[in-house]
Structure formats: structure tokens, C-alpha cells
A and B are shown apart, each in its own frame.
Chain A
Amino acid sequence: MKPVNQALAAEFGLSADEYQRVLDIMGRTPSFTELGVFSVMWSEHCSYKSSRVWLKTLPTKAAWVIHGPGENAGVVDIGEGLAAIFKMESHNHPSFIEPYQGAATGVGGILRDVFTMGARPIANLNALRFGDPKLAKTKSVVDGCVRGIGGYGNCVGVPTVGGEVNFHPSYNGNPLVNAMTVGIADQDKIFLSAAAGIGNPVVYVGSKTGRDGIHGATMASTEFDADSESKRPTVQVGDPFVEKLLIEACLELMATDAIVAIQDMGAAGLTSSSVEMAGKGGVGIELILDDVPQREPNMSAYEMMLSESQERMLIVIDPAREDIARAIFDKWDLDFAVIGHITDTGRIVVKHKGVVEADIPLDPLAEQAPLYERPWVATPKPAPLGDVTDPVGIAPALLKLIGCPDLASRAWITDQYDSTVGGQTVKRPGAADAAVVRIEGRKRALAITTDCTPRYVQADPEMGGAQAVAETWRNITAVGALPLAITDNMNFGNPQKPEIMGQFVGAIKGMAAACIALDYPVVSGNVSLYNETEGKGILPTPAIGGLGVLEDAAHAVGLGLKPGLSLVLVGETQGELGQSLWLREILGREEGAPPPVDLAAERRNGDFVRGQILAGKVAACHDVADGGLLVAVAEMAMAGDVGATLTAAPSGVAAHAYWFGEDQARYVIATADAEALLAAATKAGVPAILLGHSGGSGLTLADGTTISVAELVRENARFFPEWMDVP
């Protein structure tokens, strides 16, 4: 084993200052294992040292928030004594190195964050960003990630009901895999991680510990370089079968009152779980590593403390109920081992083969963790786009847009995910703006979505941050649900570069403004920094997972058109083409300012739309997002296999800007009674106009051009199969 010194500390990812701080806390040179503990606890991934000062500025409270950030996942009151528990988390770096296992273990990790709190997981979603589809590497990453997400989610039996996929060359060497899980628990059966009860046994359950993923947390906290591929041996391998057993065993145990505290072993494994549990409880913890179930012989204390073997949990148990707990894990054929106990020392003491391998005071480990106010520069405001002329015409542009990688049908992906297991999926992927999953045995349902438009954030981080939050709120509203709260997954480049830090700060400011305006707090989240390869940053990507509630699942509306209805456009259209997909796909330009987000208009328009849906006035609803108004209408036509006839663009807006501008706060509504809806809109001060009528088998534009729905479907469906299914 190498001698412990500053050079080794640097290898472990600790700066000179940070190492000095370790020396000060310990009052001596730390042992190898102790240095390992400090390095992972103080890694960006575990300590949020670059982001914490800014994360604190996000609004996290509301009457319906039961637990905000700081627990394994956020918890909100959804009525009837029930709580929704949810979080989104990144697994970006592992997914580049080994796409299948990286994505699979991402799903596994976020599931554990949710069921560790007592919730049965009822839905998975994932927000994915990949590089240029023209690259062979992108194709293999997409294939591996999709197989991995499906392989894990399908096996554990949690439906994968939604998510999003974008492509951009900035993700060529650094794809983003952000996985979100939503679970349901009784409000009086929520489990937290704060340890308590001096002398209580600390129990290890789940899979055995191997040497996998050692130092994964520090890997996730540094940039990629060319030899990242050689780090492959440290990649963790997921076992969804054991995860499924662990879910059932933990839920069975949670029904018995045997648990004092529980936490999954995620990044930094046994180290972070034991340190956080004892630290939060204000107690100490002693671990005897000889008793840790081990998969490989001759593992050192350092290896066991830092292993990121998957599917493991740490539980503080009521000693009077230890036998009950053991019997449950025996039934499920899972390892159950008492590996230590809670102490009153305020220290973590790790013993192995009779030797004290680590003895660290917990308070300073947490409280003196580095916290950086990284220098930042605000992103300069983009120059406005100015006038652009339409070189191709409306119909050809529509066909090109709906076939482009960012808008093409995702069926090729979602057809590989089991979206119906559980028997509660009311709106499957593609059927509505948000997934709708009913709560078993109840009328109540959750609406769930993930959204972010990274090109907007790149151009104007503050506007883009607000837009990401607003779009999730809009998507939840568009199915008729009341948006409650979000989880955020902040994917950015190297925070030590002031312009990257400026993107982060801008996005946070925009998100905070949107959360406040929409009464829509942040209850959990995750930060992934250093998303750069060879010094090039990704598009800043604050992926937002939003959750809302419907009192009756039967109220949910989808986006598929039905014949014989009127189409109404809610919201104002200036024809904002800056940073639009039309501009990028038709003119090859990524320029201009993103569409402005007017949060008051968002709120007013959304509240109106939701009210109309709940009043039963709406047959179908779709928000207007990427690609603009005509793409939204085309998507509704394709989903319902019904055509529509559209009226001309109002005077004052160029036709291409009207149909393809990405102005915010807009919805297309299909209704049987347009007159009543328009009158109600006027009364509510909400801009709304008659857009056309549904029916027939084609989409007829104002100039008389008709595109058959069949042709739309064909163009929309082509991209993924043609790209992926050719070996």
C-alpha cells in the first residue's frame, strides 16, 4: 500500500488545501483507509462543494412538502394520507464508459433512493442526452443505454413510463443518463436515514461486496480524458433480480416497525451510508468489516469501505426485532449481517482483523467539508435573431422537423421498456404530455414528466433554467394534473471555469424564479459537474423532473386528436424563432435568444387550461414546445390518427414564424365547444384563438396543402429504426 502523503491525496482527488484540512482534523497523518473516506466524502459528487451555496437559493418549501432536499429523495403530500417520494439522479460518467451497465445501475441506484424511504416504486423515467447521431460511438451508446435501462427496469417490474431524448454534438464524449423514480408510501410510514439508539445493531443487507466501482464517486467528479476507457474495470455491474428481492424484503420489513433508520449504499458505498446515517443522527458508529458479506477473498478495509457494489442497504435495527428482520431476509435469500453498532462517540470507527483501520470524528468530516464559492461570469445575453426568411415553405419544413432526431418518434426506445407492469399506467409513453400512473386501489393518479431544452440554457442560462421548470409544469397541466414539486438534475461542465459556473448560477436563478412563480418547489436533486471531454463542455442541462396529482385518473386527457372537434390555441404567439428547431434543422443555425418565459402568463394560461380539462371541456391537449405550433398539431394528429384543417396565421406574424416559433406558455386544445372555451378564456384574460377543426385523414394547411397523417407518421417513425436496426 502506498504511503499516505499529499501526492497520494492528489491521486485521490483532494487538493493541497483539502489535504491540509484532513491533517488538521485528524491531528496526525490519516491512514490509507481514512484518506479514502475523506476523499469520497469530500468529492464533488458527495459533498456538492461547488454547487451547495447556489442550491441553497432554490425554494424548497410548500404546505405539501413533507421532506425537501437532504433526505434520500423528496417527499410530497398527495392527499388521502399518501406521499409521493421521488428523485432524479445522474449516471453520466459510468454510462459513457460502459453504456449498458452504467445506465442499468443508474436505474438501480435511483430506485433504492426511493424505496429506502418506504415507498413502493411505481414509475421510472429517464432524461437522456446523446451525441451526434452520425457517429458510430453515439449509436453504440444509445443502444447500450436503452438496453440497460430496459434490462434493469423491466426486470425489477417498475414501469418505465416517460422521459426525453435529445441529440447534440456537445454530448459526443459525455452522454447524460438521468434516471428518475417515483414511489408511493403512507405518510405515517416514511423512513429516514438518521441513526439513533446507542448500541443498536447496524445491519448490512443485499448483495455481497466486491471490488467493483471503487472510487466511482471521485471518477464522477473529474473530467474525462482519453484513458477513461481504461478505467473500465471499476464499473459496477447491476443485478436487477437482487434489487427486486431487496424491494420486496425491505417493504416487508418496513411493515414490522423493526427499522430505526435505513439508507442505501450508493456512491461511495459503505462509507457514505454509514457516515451520513451516524452524522444525521448525531451519534457515532462502529463497523467490524470482518462481518461484511464479501464476494471476493482478501479484500482490504479500504476496498470494502469504498466499494460501489450494487444492491446493498444499511439498516439500524431495533434489537428486539432483529430475529424478525433476519427471517424476512432469509425468506428472500438475501444476505443479512450485523456489521457494527451505534455508539455515542460521534466518531466512525472501522475495525478489520482486530486493527482499527479508521477512526474519524464525524462532525468535522461533515462540517469542515470544503465549500467553494467558485468565481463565475454571467453568460453574455445573446444577440437577437433578427428577421429570417423561409427558404423551403411550411409543409416541407414540417416533414423535415418531425423526422429530425430531436422530434422523431421515440417508439423504438419506449417499445423496449415495459410501461404497463403494475397495471396502473393510464397514459403510456407518447399518449400524453406527461405520463399518468394511477395509485393502486385508488382513483388518484400521478402525472410525471422530465424536461429541459439545453440549447435555450446554453444561449441564456437564466431563461433556459426558467423554461425547463415551466415546461414540466405545462406538461403536467396539459394532462389535467395539479403540479406539486420538482426534482432537479444539474448536468454542467467544469465548475472551475468561471463561464461554466456562470451557466450554473444563471440556470439556478431562472429555476428559482419559475419555482416561486408557479408554487412548485424543489424537493430533491442531484448535481453532476465536470461533464466535459477533452476540455469541451456539454450544453448546460438542468434536467427537471416534475410531479403532479390528479384526484381522479379518469380526468386525465391525452394528446391524440379525435374527429369532429375544434382546435383552440391558448397563449400568445409572437413567432420566436431564436434557438428554435426550425432555425437549426432548416437553416443550420443555432443562434438568437431563446423564447422569453413570462411566468405570470405561464401560470394564468396553465391554470385556465387545467380548469377547462377538469370541467370536462377538453378532449385532447398538447403543450407547444420543440418545433412550435404546427409540430404540436401534427403530433396530435399522429397520436389520434385523425387529420385537421388549419386556419391562416394572423396578420402581423410571418407564416413560418407563426407555425414554427417556439413561444412559451401555449397549449393546443381540442374541444367540442370552441365558442364556450374562447368565451371562458376571454373572461379569464387568457389569449386564445380558434386554430382549426379536426377530422379527415390529412393535415390541411391554410394554403390548401394537405399532408396525409399516414405520411406524417411515416416520416416521424423513420429515424430510429433506420439508424439503429441496420447492423
Chain B
Amino acid sequence: MRAAIVVFPGINRERDMAIALERATGRKPRMIWHKETDLGGTDLVVLPGGFSYGDYLRCGAMASLSPVMTAVKAHAARGGYVLAVCNGFQIVTEAGLLPGALLRNAGLRFLSMDCHLRVERADTAFTGQYRKGQIFRAPMAHGDGNYTASPEDLDRLEGEGLVAFRYAEADGAISDKANRNGSARNIAGIFSPNLRVCGLMPHPENLVDPLMGGTDGKPLFDGLAAALAA
């Protein structure tokens, strides 16, 4: 799998993402500066976490208009794979690649802790090495992760099976308590209709090493590497 990570000014989890991808694929992903307009040949484009443009105006708003985004949209339109995490998720919703928007956390405070996610379907490139219904742990670190969309969009996401992950308790219960940022229907991540664009708020890339507290995030990257093996 050839992977490329887009670097917007203010992004800060691009190195974490590179480590996770390299662990899964054995090769370093390419770093693409946001002013570039050509992604080169790549199977997977990753929009990592951070604070592009300082989260000023709205999280992800200015990055969504960066020159590179034209190429990212074209890649997605061709059926290319896109993984968008945290600020990356905010950027792809601002860019219209995924529906909805990320609002300020319900409690109005930054949330940095581990959360549990329930895998909603396991027949995708992103989730192929999890089981459907599996609960896994992932760190989250965001101030604006409160997923919202119109009721019609939410119904469509549910109806078409495009919800990727939901916030859950450790035992799998989908509750308000588990939904710390207040997201609609506990949604933590979603897919595009062709299941090739995946956006999520938590950081599986920060849990791929037992020394850092676990490897719950590793199947996501191993799964991508297996599904996209050249």
C-alpha cells in the first residue's frame, strides 16, 4: 500500500500517523505539503489530526480550501481511499466529502482521554480486521468533535450502513455517558457511500504500540494495508 499524508499548516499528528502507517506497511508514507496539487501515485490519502490554521474561523474550514484539496477530491471521485482523522474529519466535512459537521463539544471543554468505539461494520477496507460489534479503545483529543447532520442525512447514514464507529462504553453499551462530546446518535466516524472515504474523531494511530498502552488501533492500519496491498 502506498500512503500519503497531507500536511496542512498547523497539523500536529502527522508524525503519529506516519508511525502507525509504517508499522502496518513497512514503508514510510509520503508527506504532501498542502500547496501541492499532485498526489503522485497513492492508494491511500490521509488527512491527519491537529489544528490546521489554528482552528480559526471554524475547524477545518480554511484547510478545506487548500490547493491540495482539489487533488484529494479528484482522488476520492476516482474511488481512491481517504482516511480523515480528527481535524482531518473536520476538513473533509467542510470540503463536502462527507456529510455533516463537527460542532463544539457539548461540555464546551477540550476532551483528552481514551474512549471506546463500536465497530458498526467489518466489511470495509478500514474495518476488515475488526469484528462487527467489536469494542476497541482509542484516545481522543478534540474540542470540536460533536458530530451533527440534518435528520435526513443521519437517517440516510444509518439506512445505508455508513456509520463506521459509535461511542460506546467498555462493555459495548451505546449510552449518553459514553458520548462525551454530544455527537448525534453517538456517531464517532462515518463512511462515504462507496465505503472508501472514512472520517472519525478519535485517534487509532495513537494506540498501535503496547508501550503506549495498547494496540487497539492497529487493526485499522493492518486492515488497510491488507486490503490495499499492491
Contact = CB atoms under 8 A, between A and B. Distances in A.
B180 to A, nearest CB: 9
A423 B16 contact: yes
Contacts of B19: 423, 440
B139 interface: yes
Contacts of B109: 147, 415-416
Contacts, number: 92
A421 B16 contact: yes
B141 to A, nearest CB: 4
Interface string B8-26: 0111110110011000000
Interface in B27-64: 33, 49-51, 53-56
Interface size on B, as a range, is 20 to 34
A421 B212 CA distance: 11
A416 B112 contact: yes
B229 interface: no
Interface stretch (B146-154, B161-169, B203-211): B203-211
Interface in B102-150: 107, 109-113, 139, 141, 143
A533 interface: no
A158 to B, nearest CB: 8
Contact of A157 (B12, B113, B213): B12
Contacts of A331: 33
B110 A421 contact: no
A333 B52 CA distance: 13
Given A245-B9, A333-B9, A415 B139 contact: no
B10 A244 contact: yes
Interface string A151-186: 100111100000000000000000000000000000
B185 to A, nearest CB: 24
Contacts of A421: 12-13, 16, 49, 141, 206
Given A241-B53, A415-B111, A440 B141 contact: no
Given A415-B112, A422-B16, A244 B211 contact: no
B51 A154 contact: yes
- Residue of B50, B109, B111 contacting most chain A CB atoms (<10 Å): B109
A539 B55 CA distance: 39
Contacts of B212: 420, 423-426
Interface in A413-466: 414-426, 428, 438, 440
Nearest to B208: A423
Interface string A629-654: 00000000000000000000000000
B100 to A, nearest CB: 23
B12 A241 contact: no
Interface of B: 9-13, 15-16, 19-20, 33, 49-51, 53-56, 107, 109-113, 139, 141, 143, 203, 205-206, 208-209, 211-213
Given A416-B109, A422-B15, A554-B211, 16 more contacts: A154-B110, A155-B10, A155-B12, A155-B51, A241-B10, A244-B9, A244-B12, A333-B9, A416-B112, A421-B12, A423-B206, A425-B212, A426-B211, A426-B212, A428-B213, A440-B15
Interface of A: 147, 150-151, 154-157, 239-242, 244-245, 331-333, 411, 414-426, 428, 438, 440, 553-554, 725
6 contacts: A241-B51, A244-B51, A415-B111, A421-B206, A423-B13, A440-B15
